[in-house]
Every structure is written in structure tokens, then in C-alpha cells.
Amino acid sequence: MDQVKDIVKKSAVFNSLENGDVDKVLQLFEKWPIQQGDVLAKAGDTAQHFFSIGSGHASAGHARG
């Protein structure tokens, strides 16, 4: 969890939090095993999760039509 804490502390969203507050936020996090090609959300979906990527990358696209 130390790697996740470091990522959270460096993020623009959470970098102003004190260590105790970061620890509280981390209690809400879950680690999801994501594989290449997995779809995390689709246009029009109601937001239910906040995603933070610790390693690798993600792509976003929009189909025209």
C-alpha cells in the first residue's frame, strides 16, 4: 500500500492532504486487476468509481457516428 500512498500524495487531486487524511482516503481504495482491452467506463455511464493508474497507461476514445 506504500506505493499507492506515494502515488496519491503526488496526485494533483490529493497532494494538499495531510498524511492522516491520505490514510483515510486510502481506506476507500480498492485494487482492481485490469487487463489490456478492459473497458472501465462508457460514454453516458453514471460515475461510480474514481480510477488512479499506478503503472501502465490507459486510452480514452469516442466513436463517431
* pLDDT tens string 9-26: 988 989 999 999 999 999
Band the pLDDT of 63: cuts 50, 70, 90: confident
Q: What is the pLDDT of residue 8?
A: 87
- Classify the phi-psi angles of 37: left when phi > 0, otherwise alpha if psi is within -120 to 50, otherwise beta: left
Per the listing, cell 462508457 goes with 42
Q: What is the pLDDT of residue 44?
A: 87
pLDDT tens track for 18-60: 999 999 999 988 888 889 989 988 888 998 888 878 788 888 8
Please check the confidence at residue 64 and state whether its pLDDT lies above 90. no
